[in-house]
């Protein structure tokens, strides 16, 4: 590597270290609910707390993961109290003590609100508890993560066709509305849930190399190779019926590039050399397909509908965070400097357009003309410290 390359990487790491501190300080200073416990359910773009907002399990799991992972990276003990706060709120309020699993949301007082068992939410809770255990070695967190894993396999895993069904009632019975959000298709299986179940299991495996868990990770990787990755377009298919028949043609650029590094991380975690080799090639193919979604300002567009030739001209915060990591990962695989440039150029876009330099954190996103999406949240059910803090942590770790 040239001296210039060294300097660029050192500068990248230093800037992301500073940004990680900025993100976490925002959540410490603005989102702690000292009256009703835990963290606020919603804060708008202008930092106004929306009183009495529901509190989401995914938001709280992502807060727990972010502070735990940041501690594991930096060893800054000042981060641990905020992880402890999220952990206790989750175990006290979101874990269903009767039927098991995780409620989708509670009200502002912490009482069950939407009691649907969304597999996605349980996956993020496993992910967060596993990372928290790495930080604290708390046996109760480890035990809860293993319990949630076994419950997902028992209740949600499709033993006939493989894969995970999306959602259930509080009692783990079939449910009519399977959707994660209003924008999603009401289908039995989704790319998004499988990606984050895989991510959760990979982190759990790092603290618990269990044989059944390893089999599940390998099966999930093969689900991606066999069904979820379109090997003609090199994009991910987003929705399926229970037989893995395709139910969507939408391209999600952020999920495409996010999947590249999460799939490789999982294959490496279980030390499956054949899958590692195969997935490295696929990472390159998906990365090259994602490049078509990069605008001239180096920001990555949100979604594209091929059937209508319709590009959704928005650049969301999480999409940029995943581009930073995904293209960096592809540079590490190939040694081709163009992928490192893509990662660095996207971070430059984030600095220019996505960082809220006045109020802190990252804007939800910007429109095609560069204007901020001001009606969206700064913190909420879906706006969390996870994608952006994770990008900082991942790239810092990879630079070393």
Domain boundaries, the chain: 3-399
Q: How many CB atoms lie within 10 A of CB 266?
A: 25
Q: 3-class DSSP state for residue 375?
A: coil
Residue 1: its pLDDT value, please?
A: 44
Backbone angles phi, psi at 215, to 5 degrees: -60, -40
Closest by CA position to 299, among listed 243, 266, 260, 253: 253
Residue 4: its pLDDT value, please?
A: 59
Is residue 309 a contact partner of residue 251, using CB atoms and an 8 Å limit? Answer: no
Rounded-to-integer distance, Cα 327 and Cα 260, Å: 9
Rounded-to-integer distance, Cα 198 and Cα 127, Å: 10
Rounded-to-integer distance, Cα 181 and Cα 340, Å: 34
Spatial strand order of the sheet with 55-56 comes to 55-56, 105-106, 112-114
Residue 91 Cα distances to 77, 147, 203, 385, angstroms: 22, 13, 19, 20
Is residue 304 a contact partner of residue 312, using CB atoms and an 8 Å limit? Answer: yes
Mean pLDDT by 10 residues, the chain (400 residues): 74 98 98 98 98 98 98 98 98 98 98 98 98 98 98 98 98 96 94 98 98 98 98 98 98 98 98 98 98 98 96 98 98 98 98 97 98 98 98 97
Rounded-to-integer distance, Cα 15 and Cα 281, Å: 30
Is residue 237 a contact partner of residue 230, using CB atoms and an 8 Å limit? Answer: yes
Residue 10: its pLDDT value, please?
A: 97
Is residue 240 a contact partner of residue 247, using CB atoms and an 8 Å limit? Answer: yes
Is residue 255 a contact partner of residue 316, using CB atoms and an 8 Å limit? Answer: no
DSSP secondary structure code for residue 56 in this structure: E
Rounded-to-integer distance, Cα 263 and Cα 110, Å: 35
CATH topology of domain 3-399: Glycosyltransferase (1.50.10)
Our separate counts of H helices and E strands in the chain read: 12, 14
Using the structure block, give the residue that is written with the tokens 């959760």: 200
Residue 277: its pLDDT value, please?
A: 98
The neighbouring-strand residues paired with 372 are 366
Q: 3-class DSSP state for residue 246?
A: strand
Is residue 211 a contact partner of residue 138, using CB atoms and an 8 Å limit? Answer: no
Closest by CA position to 117, among listed 54, 203, 180: 180
Greatest pairwise CA separation for the chain in angstroms = 60
Q: How many CB atoms lie within 10 A of CB 181?
A: 8
CA angle (397 as vertex; 361, 285 as ends), nearest 5: 90
Tokens for 104?
């989708």
Is residue 378 a contact partner of residue 359, using CB atoms and an 8 Å limit? Answer: yes
Tokens for 46?
């202008």
Number of C-alpha atoms within 13 angstroms, CB side, residue 344?
A: 16
Closest by CA position to 103, among listed 111, 90, 115: 115
């Amino acid at each position: 590597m040239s001296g210039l390359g060294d300097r660029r990487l050192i500068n990248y790491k230093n800037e992301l270290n500073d940004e990680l501190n900025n993100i976490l300080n925002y959540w410490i200073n603005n989102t702690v609910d000292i009256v009703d416990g835990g963290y606020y359910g919603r804060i708008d773009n202008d930092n106004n707390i929306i009183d009495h907002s529901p509190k989401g399990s995914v938001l709280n799991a992502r807060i727990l993961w972010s502070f735990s992972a940041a501690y594991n990276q930096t060893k800054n003990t000042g981060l641990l109290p905020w992880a402890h706060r999220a952990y206790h709120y989750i175990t006290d309020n979101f874990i269903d003590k009767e039927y098991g699993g995780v409620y989708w949301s509670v009200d502002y007082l912490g009482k069950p609100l939407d009691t649907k068992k969304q597999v996605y939410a349980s996956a993020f809770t496993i992910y967060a508890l596993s990372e928290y255990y790495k930080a604290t070695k708390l046996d109760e967190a480890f035990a809860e993560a293993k319990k949630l894993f076994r419950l997902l396999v028992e209740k949600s895993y499709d033993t006939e066709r493989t894969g995970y069904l999306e959602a259930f009632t509080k009692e783990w019975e079939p449910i009519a509305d399977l959707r994660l959000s209003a924008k999603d298709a009401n289908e039995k299986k989704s790319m998004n849930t499988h990606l984050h179940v895989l991510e959760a299991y990979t982190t759990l495996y790092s603290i618990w190399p269990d044989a059944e868990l390893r089999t599940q990770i390998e099966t999930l990787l093969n689900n991606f190779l066999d069904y979820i990755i379109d090997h003609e377009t090199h994009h991910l298919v987003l929705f399926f019926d229970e037989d893995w028949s395709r139910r969507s043609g939408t391209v999600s650029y952020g999920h495409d590039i996010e999947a590249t590094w999460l799939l490789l991380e999982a294959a490496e975690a279980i030390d499956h050399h054949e899958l590692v080799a195969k997935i490295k090639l696929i990472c390159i193919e998906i990365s090259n397909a994602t490049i078509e979604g990069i605008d001239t300002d180096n920001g990555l567009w949100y979604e594209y509908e091929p059937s209508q030739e319709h590009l959704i001209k928005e650049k969301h915060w999480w999409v940029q965070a995943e581009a930073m990591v995904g293209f960096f990962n592809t540079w590490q695989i190939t040694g081709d400097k163009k992928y490192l440039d893509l990662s660095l150029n996207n971070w430059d876009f984030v600095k220019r357009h996505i960082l809220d330099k006045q109020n802190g954190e990252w804007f939800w996103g910007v429109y095609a003309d560069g204007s901020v999406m001001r009606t969206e949240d700064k913190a909420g059910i879906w706006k969390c410290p996870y994608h952006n803090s994770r990008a900082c942590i991942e790239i810092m770790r990879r630079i070393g």
